[in-house]
Amino acid sequence: MSLVEKQISEEKKKKKSRLKIIAAAVLGCILLIAAGSGLGFLYLRFQGEKNLKTQVPAVSKEKDEAENTSGSSEKEEQEGLYITYEGKQYQYNSDVINILCLGIDKDIPIEEKRDTGSEGLADAVILASIDTKEDKLNFLAVPRETIVSVKLIDTAGNFVRTENEQITLQYAYGQTAEKSCELMTDAVSNLLFQLPIQRYCAINFQALPALNDAIGGVDLVSIETVHWWNGSFYEGQQLHLEGQSALDYVRQRDETIPKSSMGRLERQKQYITCYLEQAKEAVGKDLTLPVKLFQSLTENMCTNVTAADITYLVPELLNMDVNMDNISMVPGETITGGEHEEYHVDTESLKQLVVQMFYTEVPAKEPIPEEEGNTQTSQEQPDPQRNPSSTEEETTVEGSQTEDIN
């Protein structure tokens, strides 16, 4: 066995061990609740909340204007903690938890490479956004053909360069499933103006039948007609999806029809909505269901979600409603005619959407109150160290600079 094969084998063992620990921890929490002791559960919930919520430093009202435009402020904006839109500053909503959900087109365990050496492609890219204060669950879908700056990595794991490519390709450049997920997380965060993304979860499409059947299948009405080589479904058709039919509904498309991947994305959005609503009912009837799901996904999932995360998130999610209005898509336009379809983002519209979904406006500075009986502000009061004859001239120059900047 080569050194690379040994490393891959060790990574698999570590991953299986982590998933078993998570499943055991979740089961332990359920048993604690059932036994009437909630201390362990409450501790894990506390740890999960602490680990997941991004801490945003408050904007100090005492900061000078020069400090607000200094390198430290620029760094915070680069990290996605603050964003400027239409002349106003917004800060990241620390009550929002973002989890990147990826559907990988592999028919083998997620840690195994294809014969080509590739980790596969990310055919579904959806950001789940959980607002724990407002009890809202929103999704932002990223079309797989979205053109972004993709990091090219060689077979030794070294960065080579960046190229404008479809975002689905970024997953293929990881040396392991974990590295692929990290690359995808960076790509989506950069697309969304350095938005903080706390966790990721990637599953093979082959895992979907098990997830689907664990809640008794999914009922929905087909929103379009699609034919493929060995099957079809029709617009308006009532479907009860089980096993392979669930995978077909979210995966198949007619490649002879331009922009067919956009129709598939709409079906994926619909399926997520229906699945989550029916999963809530199933979990209400069987509290051990999350453990069963984890066990069924061992070979087909890569995630950095922890037991503490799950203990905090599951009760929160059970209180949230989901419908198609909660699912948005990165705004843009599909360009056809080339070798492959390309989805070009409308940057201004995307920035507006990101601000609405993930940020809150930073309150404007309050004016300094005037002293009683004094009609002059501190800026209008003459400086005794300054030449009085130059005061008016300097004030005029400063005013003109402000107008130029604005």
pLDDT in tens, 345-385: 999 999 999 999 999 999 877 555 554 444 444 444 444 44
pLDDT of amino acid 157:
87
Strand pairing class (359-361; 96-104)? unpaired
Chain centroid offset of residue 170 CA: 15
Report pTM. Answer: 0.75
Q: How far apart are the first and last CA of the chain?
A: 65
% of the chain at pLDDT higher than 70: 69
Tokens 């964003």 sit on residue: 83
**CA 115 to CA 113: how far, in whole Å?**
7
Token pair of 285 as six digits: 């009837």
User: What is the pLDDT of the chain when averaged over all its residues?
Assistant: 78
E runs forming strands in 214-320: 218-221, 226-228, 231-233, 238-241, 301-303
Domain 3-57+76-207+280-361 maps to which CATH number in 3.40.50.2300, 3.20.20.140, 3.30.420.590, 3.60.21.10? 3.30.420.590
pLDDT of amino acid 84:
93
pLDDT digits (tens, 9 = 90+) for 221-274: 999 998 887 888 999 999 999 999 999 998 888 777 877 888 888 998 899 889
Instruction: Kindly tell me if the per-residue pLDDT of 93 is higher than 80.
Output: yes
Token pair of 222 as six digits: 């087909």
pLDDT of amino acid 388:
43
pLDDT digits (tens, 9 = 90+) for 125-173: 999 999 989 989 999 999 999 999 999 999 888 999 999 999 999 999 9
